[in-house]
Each structure stands twice: as structure tokens, then as C-alpha cells.
Amino acid sequence: MWRIDELVDGPNAPHITPEALDRCEASLEDIFNGRLFDLLDAALSDTVSRFHVDKPFRDMVEGMHMDLWKFLYNNFDELYLYCYYVASTVGLMSVPDMGIAPESKATTESVYNAALAVGITIQLTNILRDVGEE
């Protein structure tokens, strides 16, 4: 996940093109289909196959595409979708890997909903924090 995130948040972010993200998507599909390059790919492939979290990875890349071309949102629904793509997906990827404590009374659905909400909240906070700079 961090290799993907670094594309748009890392030091080379200003130079990332849609074609670079397309290559990233193709690499993800290779990993999801068992075509692995290194041990990190193997770990991701194992996690995705064990926990069925390929959709959040695909959605996160969609959010990165949005980072390249969309800077203004016409309404909260559009902004919410962006926040889902770039932040909530991380929580959704993490829940199955971290698990839910056996003694927890929370339902699986409520834990996923909380992960989704935390992602939205964190991204909105990041956006608000940057308002002064931008």
C-alpha cells in the first residue's frame, strides 16, 4: 500500500502522470493475479487473497487519479467520494489484517463502518489543515 501511496504523496508527486498511475494499476492487477516481482508483492498477494481486499486497493488508485485532475468539488457528495477513495480505503484494507478482538461486542459491519468514517474524518481534517497554505 505504501508504494502506491508514495506515488501521489511522496517527493516525486509533482511529476506523477496518469500513465504512471496506469502502470501502478497494471502492477496491482499482476499482483492480484499471482504475477509477483518481489517479497512485498508476495505479502500483498497473500493478504489480498486471504482477506479479499482487492477492491479498496483499486478504489485507492481511483482516488489517486482524482488527485491528478480534480481540485474542486461541487458538493459534499463529491468530496465524500474523494475522501472515501483516498482515505477510507486504507481503513477498509486494514480491518481484516488487524482483526476484531474476540471479546468485542461490535459487529463486523459496525467496525467497517467505523473504518470508513475515520477515513472520511481524517481526510477532511487534512483538507482543512491545508486551507491556509493553499
pLDDT score for 3: 67
Report the phi/psi class of residue 34: left, alpha or beta, with left for phi > 0 and alpha for psi in -120 to 50.
Answer: left
pLDDT score for 75: 95
pTM of the entire structure? Answer: 0.82
pLDDT score for 134: 61
pLDDT (tens digit per residue) in 88-106: 999 999 898 888 999 999 9
Low-confidence residues of the chain: pLDDT under 50: none
Structural domains for the chain: 2-130 (1.10.600.10)
pLDDT score for 14: 77
Neighbours of 80 (CB within 10 A): 15
pLDDT score for 66: 87
pLDDT score for 10: 73
Query: What are the cell numbers at 27?
Result: 502492477
Query: What are the cell numbers at 96?
Result: 481484516
Place of cell 486504507: 90
pLDDT (tens digit per residue) in 27-38: 899 999 999 999
pLDDT score for 98: 86
Q: Determine the Cα–Cα distance for residues 21 and 78; give it in Å rounded to an integer.
A: 21
Is residue 84 within 8 A of residue 59, CB to CB? The reply is yes
Q: Determine the Cα–Cα distance for residues 18 and 92; give it in Å rounded to an integer.
A: 25
Describe the crossing of helices 2-9 and 18-32 by its angle, rounded to 10 degrees: 180
pLDDT score for 1: 53
pLDDT score for 67: 82
